[in-house]
C-alpha cells in the first residue's frame, strides 16, 4: 500500500528526492502516526528520521522504512552527502523558519513545492481509506442517535457537544475531527458556532456539526433539529436546505465539476429567496484532514472521479432568526455516489 503510494508520487513529479514532514503525509506514505518525523523518499531507499521519543513506534508502524535517530544524523546532513539535485518539500506545512534552515543547509539544491500535488494524489481514496471513513461516519451516525434524547430545554450546547464527543471516543475514535459545533436559537445563524453554555429553549433550531478521527480518517456530518414544534418559517427554511442538498446529491457522479454541483444547490436556495443567506462552499473532501480535495464551491474546477469522498452541506443562516445546515458525507462511485451518512433528514421536533 505505502509502496504503491510512493510510486504514484514519483510518477507525478520528475525528481528523485522528496522530503515529507506533515503528520498526515507521514502517515499516508509510511504508516507512522507519531506526527513528528521526516521522511526522505528516494528512488533507492526510504528513510524515516525521528527522535528518541518515537524510535520504537516508528520501527513498528513503518516497517518499509529505515528508521534513523536524528541525534545521530538529520535528513539535511544525509542530503548534503548526495550530489545536489532537486528536493520536493511540503510548502503548506513547513514554517518559514524550517524552510530557511533547509535553504541554508542545502544551498545547491532546487527546492520544489509539492503540497498541492500530494493533495491531488490523496483526493482519490483506496479501499482501506474508504472503509475507515465509512466506519468513522457510522460512528458519527450512532453518536447522533445517542445524543437525541438529550436535546431538550435546559440542556446546554456544551452538554450536547461533550456527549457526542464522549460517545465517539468511547467507541474507538481518537478525537473529534474538529471542535464540535452545537449552535442553538439565534446562535444557529453562525455557521461555525462552537458549543457554549447557552441552554436550549423551546423553539430553538439546534445545529450539530461533528465527526471523529478513526485510525486517522475523518468523518463529518451535520443535522439541525427543532426543540418543540417548528414554525412555518422554520419548516420552509429547513425544506429549502433539504431539497438543495438532495438535488446536489443526485447530481454527483464522475466527470462533474465541483462548481456544477455547487451551482445546483445554490440556485435552489436562491430561487426560494434565501440566496443571500448561504455564504459558504457546498462541500469539501475529507481524509487524513477534515478539509481535503475536492472542493464543491462556485469557483472549484475539481472534477469528481470514483473514489473521492466529499461532503454536501448547504445551509441558510438568518441573523436574529437562526440557521439550518444539513451535511452528508458521500463516496463518488462509477454510477453516482454512495451516501455514507444514514441519520434521518426528516425535520425532528424534539
Interface with Zn ion (CB under 5 A): 209, 220, 222, 311, 327
Whose Cβ is closer to Zn ion: residue 18's or residue 151's? 151
Q: Which is nearer to Zn ion, 26 or 310 (CB)?
A: 310
Contact 263, 255 (CB under 8 A): no
| 203 and 230 Cβ atoms separated by less than 8 Å | no
Q: Are 198 and 157 in contact (CB under 8 A)?
A: yes
C-alpha cell at 25: 503525509
Pick the closer one to Zn ion by CB: 137 or 163: 137
Contact criterion met (CB below 8 Å) for 133 and 218: yes
Q: Is 257 helix (H, G, I), strand (E, B) or coil?
A: strand
Q: How far is the CB of 200 from Zn ion (least distance, A)?
A: 20
Question: Least distance from C-beta 176 to Zn ion, angstroms?
Answer: 11
Min CB(283)–Zn ion separation in Å: 7
Phi, psi angles (nearest 5°) of residue 4: -60, -45
Q: Decide whether 41 or 326 has the Cβ nearer to Zn ion.
A: 326
My answer on whether omega of the bond before 72 falls inside 30° of 0, hence cis, is: no
CA 198 vs. chain centroid, Å, equals: 28
The partner residues of 337 in beta bridges, in order of sequence, read 332
Cβ distance to Zn ion smaller for residue 90 or 220: 220
Please report how close the Cβ of residue 299 comes to Zn ion at its closest, in angstroms.
18
CA 206 from chain center: how many Å? 22
Q: How far is the CB of 127 from Zn ion (least distance, A)?
A: 23
Amino acid at each position: 500500500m505505502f509502496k504503491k503510494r510512493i510510486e504514484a508520487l514519483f510518477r507525478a513529479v520528475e525528481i528523485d528526492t522528496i522530503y515529507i514532514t506533515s503528520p498526515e503525509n507521514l502517515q499516508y506514505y509510511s504508516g507512522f502516526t507519531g506526527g513528528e518525523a521526516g521522511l526522505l523518499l528516494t528512488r533507492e531507499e526510504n528513510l524515516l528520521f525521528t527522535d528518541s521519543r518515537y524510535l520504537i513506534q516508528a520501527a513498528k508502524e513503518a516497517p518499509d522504512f529505515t528508521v534513523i535517530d536524528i541525534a545521530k544524523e538529520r535528513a539535511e546532513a544525509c542530503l548534503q552527502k548526495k550530489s545536489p539535485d532537486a528536493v520536493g518539500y511540503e510548502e503548506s506545512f513547513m514554517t518559514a523558519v524550517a524552510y530557511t534552515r533547509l535553504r541554508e543547509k542545502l544551498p545547491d539544491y532546487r527546492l520544489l513545492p509539492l503540497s498541492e500535488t500530494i493533495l491531488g494524489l490523496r483526493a482519490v481514496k483506496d479501499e482501506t481509506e474508504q472503509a475507515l471513513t465509512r466506519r468513522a461516519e457510522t460512528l458519527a451516525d450512532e453518536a447522533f442517535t445517542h445524543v437525541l434524547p438529550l436535546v431538550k430545554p435546559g440542556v446546554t450546547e456544551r452538554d450536547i457537544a461533550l456527549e457526542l464527543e464522549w460517545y465517539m471516543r468511547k467507541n474507538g475514535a481518537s478525537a473529534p475531527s474538529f471542535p464540535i459545533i452545537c449552535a442553538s436559537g439565534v446562535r444557529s445563524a453562525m455557521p461555525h458556532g462552537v458549543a457554549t453554555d447557552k441552554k436550549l429553549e423551546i423553539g430553538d433550531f439546534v445545529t450539530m456539526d461533528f465527526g471523529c478521527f478513526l485510525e486517522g480518517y475523518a468523518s463529518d456530518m451535520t443535522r439541525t433539529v427543532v426543540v418543540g414544534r417548528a414554525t412555518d418559517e422554520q419548516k420552509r427554511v429547513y425544506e429549502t436546505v433539504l431539497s438543495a442538498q438532495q438535488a446536489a446529491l443526485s447530481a454527483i457522479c464522475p466527470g462533474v465539476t465541483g462548481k456544477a454541483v455547487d451551482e445546483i444547490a445554490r440556485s435552489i436556495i436562491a430561487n426560494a429567496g434565501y440566496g443571500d443567506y448561504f455564504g459558504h462552499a457546498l462541500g469539501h473532501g475529507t481524509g487524513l484532514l477534515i478539509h481535503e480535495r475536492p472542493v464543491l464551491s462556485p469557483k472549484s474546477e475539481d472534477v469528481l472521479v470514483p473514489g473521492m469522498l466529499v461532503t454536501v452541506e448547504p445551509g441558510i443562516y438568518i441573523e436574529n432568526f437562526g440557521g439550518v445546515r444539513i451535511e452528508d458525507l458521500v463516496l463518488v462511485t462509477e454510477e453516482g455516489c454512495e451516501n455514507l451518512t444514514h441519520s434521518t433528514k426528516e425535520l425532528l421536533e424534539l
